[in-house]
């Protein structure tokens, strides 16, 4: 069971906002009775208990009216705080704190709930739970072990809502349901009813599904029966097919034998036809040879053999000569290839040098244009005409360096001047603020002194009226004295002179005593008036001291948390000024660092722009070169295409050489075959058996001889095209090398540089954002400290005045005493001088009773 121990209230409704106004209420066991007149705060205590336990404000209050009115407290901000100490359901000690603040802004008040804290003691250590980390109302209800409805409607029921048991039936039922938690059981019944409805609906769906399943089962049974009958029919059909296949097997064998016999017959028929055709061809060749044969060899076999051997020697010599010519042709081709290679290398070197020269000229033009534009901006003369020579460039660099140094020097001077002016202006502002504050306080003091002087003048006027009454009394006494003298004269006439003289002397002596007493009284009156003035001044100083102490306390309360958060302690004026000076120095350093980072960021972005432009140019150049290569090669594999083309050129050259020599060879072969008596092949020395066979060879050679010029022309044309394409490709080798450099070196390097710059820019942006955040924090702290500096200055000035006031109002520093029948006073310079004088005048004080 939970139990409330005590509660403290500050700044709620009529409870004051000062620390001295904090009220602590201790609750007793088993009963605590609050007794007091109307407006004493009994209901406020119950409302505070309800707020600290549930977080709910009283009915009709949104928080503004729950906190002490700032207008009544003469404050712009009023902070309210409620603390409760209790034992929870487990018997553990728990402390809860809820805070609020109400601010006066113009005619409106603004209310804000601050962070709440629940503190428990576990295992001898304090464990705190903030409202930022957990829901405080739920934690309080769990700790108290009572539902929120019981707290609101039973335990902490407000007096305006105490008649809820007499409300209408529906509202009353709702209240009792909340108190006894009947809503949960109603929700459970409703859930059961919904589940029952869902299950009934599910049963209906299952029944319908069961009906369809039964129908599907019947259909499946029918299909199963049909499948069984079909399988039986299929087995019978397979048996019939097997029987028919057994019957077809001998027929297939007979058919295969017939087909083999037919193939043999057809082959024999083709062979007979071929032999017949060959016989006819040979007869035709024989007839052709007989017709073409001009001379028949008439010698014997030995002569024919010698002729054949001579012919063989001639063929070998021809073959040897042909081999030598081929060897010479190969050497010439190698020399030709070597020259072509040297030519291609020279073309590559020429293209590379031309590219470098173009780049160099482009860089020179770019440099000259940049120098001219910069010279125009800086108003430098002598750089209008391009191209610029080395002397002009060195002169331009020197002038730019001098201009940069001058600009840096002027910028530094301006920064120093602005810093000095800012410091002077800040000092002037601080002096003006101090003067303004002092003049305002002086005006207030002068007004108070003026009011008090007017009051004193009024009192003096009243005393003057009294003194005028005393002077009238003196006139009356003078008249009475004149009358008495007149009576004395008459009495002298009538009485004894000596007796009368004695009476007159006695009266004169009495008059003298009265005059001295009157003078003493006048002096005492003057001294009393002087003491009254001093006491009035002391009262004014005490009141001023109280006001200043109150003001100092308010300043400390207003700025204590902020200054402790900034410095870790409540500083003096000098400490705060030193801290502000360090903050200003830190702000300047941060601004310099931020300017440096911004400069680096601008430089990096310019480099990024330059590299991006260069990368775009390189990519466009690469695209252009690749298009040129693709237009010439038809693919991107330049080296393989060039090697293939070189191979094709060699092959075509050999073919052209073969075709060029084929005309002479074919003509010689035809002449030899036509002129020699015995027909034999000039290459293999095979003897043609028939004239027709010889004629066929001659016809074939003549046909090839007729086609050779056309083939030679076509081959030469193709060779020229390929050589032209090879020359074009060799001339593109520098471009290919440039493309390779762009692919492998330039573009990757630029992209890497761009990535590095992007990372640097991101890092610089992050650093700039961090420095800006730091600068904003430092500037905010500096502004807060500057705002506090004026109040701290006033507070220290007030503390000095309070100290002076204490010194002036010390009893030991002013001593009143009677000396030679006069009331006197002395101001002692220290306590050491006071005590001897005190004992010296003590007896006189006791005698005259004039201690003030």
CA dihedral (788, 793, 795, 796) in degrees, to 10, reads: 140
- Cα gap 567→573, rounded to integer Å: 13
Question: Cα(71)–Cα(75) distance, rounded to whole angstroms?
Answer: 6
Given a contact cutoff of 8 angstroms between Cβ atoms, the answer to whether 10 and 78 are in contact is no
Q: What is the largest CA-CA distance in the chain?
A: 239
Confirm if 571 and 563 have CB atoms less than 8 A apart: yes
Q: Are 781 and 575 in contact (CB under 8 A)?
A: no
Contact 153, 176 (CB under 8 A): no
Contact 715, 655 (CB under 8 A): yes
The Cα 767–Cα 760 span in angstroms is 10
Give the C-alpha separation, 86 to 69, whole Å.
29
- Check whether 48 is labelled as a binding-site residue: no
Residue with tokens 């409302």: 47
What distance in Å separates the CA atoms of residue 770 and residue 773, rounded to the nearest whole number? 5
Q: How far apart are CA 80 and CA 67, in angstroms?
A: 6
Identify the bridge partners of residue 12 per DSSP, sorted by sequence position. 67
What is the Cα–Cα distance from 582 to 381, expressed in whole angstroms? 48
What is the C-alpha to C-alpha distance for residues 779 and 773, in angstroms, rounded to an integer? 10
Q: Which long-range contacts (CB under 8 A, 24 or more apart) does 620-627 make?
A: 621/738, 621/742, 622/739, 622/742, 622/743, 622/747, 625/735, 625/736, 625/738, 625/739, 625/742, 626/739
Identify whether the C-beta of residue 66 lies closer than 8 Å to the C-beta of residue 100: yes
Give burial (CB, 10 Å; 0-12/13-18/19+) of 52.
Answer: buried
Side-chain-side CA neighbours of 744 within 13 Å: the count stands at 6
Note whether 452 and 542 are within 8 A (CB).
no
Eight-state DSSP code of residue 299: S
- The residues near 399 (Cβ < 8 Å, ≥ 6 apart) are 378, 380
The CA distance from 365 to 759, in Å, is 32
Determine if residue 681 is labeled as part of a ligand binding site: yes
Beta bridge partners of 819: 822
As given in the structure block, the two tokens for residue 283 are: 């007869």
Cβ(45)–Cβ(66) under 8 Å? no
Closest by CA position to 680, among listed 307, 337, 362, 338: 307
Give which of 181, 110, 114, 99 is closest to 146, Cα–Cα: 181
The residues pairing with 521 across neighbouring beta strands, listed in sequence order, are: none
User: CA 89 to CA 148: how far, in whole Å?
Assistant: 15
Q: At what angle do helices 638-675 and 573-633 cross, to 10 degrees?
A: 10
How many angstroms separate the Cα of 41 from the Cα of each of 37, 99, 124, 677? 9, 19, 36, 156
CA distance to 65, 154, 217, 433, 728, per residue, from 60 (Å): 9, 19, 73, 45, 97
Q: What residues form the annotated binding site? A: 681, 684
**Residues placed in the known binding site for Zn(2+):** 681, 684
């Amino acid at each position: 069971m939970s139990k409330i121990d005590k509660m403290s209230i500050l700044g709620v409704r009529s409870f004051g906002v000062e620390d001295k106004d904090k009220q602590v209420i201790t609750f007793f066991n088993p009963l605590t009775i609050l007794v007091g007149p109307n407006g004493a705060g009994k209901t406020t205590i119950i409302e505070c208990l309800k707020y600290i336990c549930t977080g709910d404000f009283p009915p009709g209050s949104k928080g503004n009216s729950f906190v002490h009115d700032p207008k009544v407290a003469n404050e712009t901000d009023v902070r309210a705080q409620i603390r409760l100490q209790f034992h929870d359901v487990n018997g553990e000690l728990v402390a809860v704190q809820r805070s609020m603040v109400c601010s006066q802004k113009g005619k409106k008040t603004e209310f804000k709930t601050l962070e709440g804290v629940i503190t428990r003691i576990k295992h001898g250590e304090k464990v705190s739970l903030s409202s930022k980390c957990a829901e405080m109302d739920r934690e309080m209800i769990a700790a108290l072990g009572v539902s929120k409805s019981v707290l609101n409607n039973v335990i902490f029921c407000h007096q305006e809502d105490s008649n809820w048991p007499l409300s209408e039936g529906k509202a009353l039922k709702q209240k009792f349901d909340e108190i006894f938690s009947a809503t949960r059981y109603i929700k459970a019944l409703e859930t059961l009813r919904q589940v029952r409805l869902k299950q009934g609906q599910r049963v209906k769906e299952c029944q319908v599904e069961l009906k369809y399943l039964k129908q599907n089962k019947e259909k499946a049974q029918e299909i199963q029966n049909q499948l069984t009958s079909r399988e039986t029919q299929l087995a019978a059909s397979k048996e019939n097919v097997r029987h028919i296949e057994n019957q077809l097997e001998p027929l297939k064998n007979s058919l295969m034998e017939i087909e083999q016999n037919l193939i043999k017959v057809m082959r024999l028929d083709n062979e007979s036809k071929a032999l017949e055709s060959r016989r006819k061809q040979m007869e035709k060749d024989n007839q052709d040879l007989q017709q073409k044969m001009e001379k028949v060899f008439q010698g014997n076999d030995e002569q024919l053999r010698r002729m054949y051997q001579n012919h063989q020697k001639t063929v070998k010599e021809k073959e040897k000569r042909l081999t030598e010519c081929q060897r010479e042709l190969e050497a010439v081709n190698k020399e030709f290839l070597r020259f072509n290679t040297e030519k291609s290398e020279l073309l590559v070197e020429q293209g590379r040098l031309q590219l470098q020269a173009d780049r160099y000229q482009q860089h020179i033009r770019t440099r000259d244009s940049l120098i001219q534009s910069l010279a125009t901006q800086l108003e430098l003369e002598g750089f209008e005409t391009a191209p610029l020579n080395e002397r002009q460039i060195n002169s331009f660099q020197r002038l730019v360096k001098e201009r940069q140094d001058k600009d840096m020097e002027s910028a530094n001077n301006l920064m120093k001047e602005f810093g000095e002016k800012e410091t002077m202006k800040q000092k002037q502002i601080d002096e003006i603020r101090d003067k303004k504050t002092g003049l305002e306080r002086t005006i207030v003091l002068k007004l108070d002194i003026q009011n008090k002087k007017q009051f004193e003048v009024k009192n003096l006027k009243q005393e003057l009226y009294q003194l005028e009454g005393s002077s009238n009394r003196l006139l009356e006494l003078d008249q009475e004295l004149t009358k008495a003298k007149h009576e004395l004269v008459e009495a002298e006439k009538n009485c004894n002179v000596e007796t009368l003289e004695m009476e007159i002397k006695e009266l004169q002596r009495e008059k003298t005593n009265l005059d001295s007493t009157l003078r003493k009284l006048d002096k005492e009156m003057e001294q009393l008036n002087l003491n009254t003035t001093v006491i009035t001044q002391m009262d004014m100083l005490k009141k001023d001291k109280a006001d200043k102490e109150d003001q100092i306390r308010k300043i400390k309360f207003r700025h204590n948390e902020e200054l402790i958060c900034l410095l870790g302690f409540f500083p003096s004026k000098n400490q705060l000024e030193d801290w502000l000076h360090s903050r200003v120095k830190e702000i300047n350093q941060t601004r310099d660092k931020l300017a440096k980072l911004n400069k680096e960021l601008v430089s990096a972005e310019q480099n990024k722009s330059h590299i991006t432009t260069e990368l775009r140019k390189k990519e466009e150049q690469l695209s252009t070169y690749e298009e040129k290569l693709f237009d010439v090669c038809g693919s991107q594999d330049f080296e393989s295409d060039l090697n293939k083309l070189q191979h094709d050129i060699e092959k075509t050259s050999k073919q052209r050489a073969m075709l060029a020599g084929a005309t002479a060879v074919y003509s010689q072969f035809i002449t030899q075959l036509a002129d020699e008596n015995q027909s034999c092949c000039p290459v293999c020395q095979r003897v043609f058996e028939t004239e027709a066979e010889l004629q066929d060879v001659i016809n074939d050679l003549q046909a090839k001889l007729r086609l050779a010029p056309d083939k030679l022309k076509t081959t030469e044309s193709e060779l020229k095209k390929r050589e032209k394409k090879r020359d074009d490709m060799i001339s593109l080798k520098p471009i290919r090398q440039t493309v390779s450099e762009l692919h492998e070196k330039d573009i990757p390097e630029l992209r890497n540089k761009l990535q590095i710059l992007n990372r640097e820019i991101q890092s610089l942006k992050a650093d700039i954002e961090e420095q800006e955040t730091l600068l904003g924090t430092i500037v905010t702290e500096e502004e807060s400290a500057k705002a506090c500096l004026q109040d701290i200055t006033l507070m220290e000035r007030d503390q000095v005045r309070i100290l002076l006031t204490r010194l002036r109002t010390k009893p030991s520093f002013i001593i009143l005493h009677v000396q030679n029948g006069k009331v006197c006073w002395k101001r002692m310079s220290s306590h050491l001088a006071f005590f001897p004088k005190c004992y010296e005048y003590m007896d006189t004080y006791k005698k005259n009773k004039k201690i003030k």
